[in-house]
Amino acid sequence: MSHFLKYIVIWLGSLMKKPLLALRRNSVSATSRVRLNSFYRGCKIGKWCFIGRYGIFNNVHIGNYTCIAPSCQIGGEEHSYWAASTSPQLSDECISGRITYIGHDVWIAANCIIRQGVTIGNGAVVGANSFVNKDIPPYAIVFGSPAKIYKYRFDEDTIKRLNDSHYWDFAPKEAKVILGKIKVQQSEA
């Protein structure tokens, strides 16, 4: 019974945040937990996600079961250093509005910066303090500045079975059953 009450409290808290988040053209699933002391604009946040405090998110589409640690900056305007002025007030060449895609079941550790327009594949892991300026393939582990692939979490066959299962489309109880049937083989580094 206490698990059920905890779920109801979380759901009600998320529901109360929705009007505030909608003011900046955001769409957030009621099952996700997002911190309001972050800035969200033009974001779509999937089901069963967790987003930590002090983040800045501009035009980000986030899949289901994704977790983002505190103090991450994703998307955002890029100033025109090549033009006569870097100010958006004086230059029409600043770049903004590109959508950044974060896949399903992604883990982004604290203090990461991810450029606008980047795609991070399903199941990827981004190490703390990383700067991501290029697309990240599914199930890759990346870190650094700029972020580089360290290794893949699983072998190719396991990655294919995980992607083909679409476990992220199911509620946690059913997703756990699906994942339990997939034999995971770690990638060789």
Helix-, strand-, coil-residue percentages of the chain, each rounded to 5: 25, 25, 50
Nearest Cα neighbor of 123 from 142, 105, 110 is 105
User: Cis ω on the peptide bond leading into residue 146 (within 30° of 0)?
Assistant: yes
The rounded distance, in Å, linking the Cα atoms of 135 and 118 is: 5
Q: Provide the annotated active-site residues.
A: 79
CB 35 within 8 A of CB 52: yes
CB 58 within 8 A of CB 78: no
Burial 56-70 (b: 16+ CB within 10 A, else e): bbbbbbbbbbbbbbe
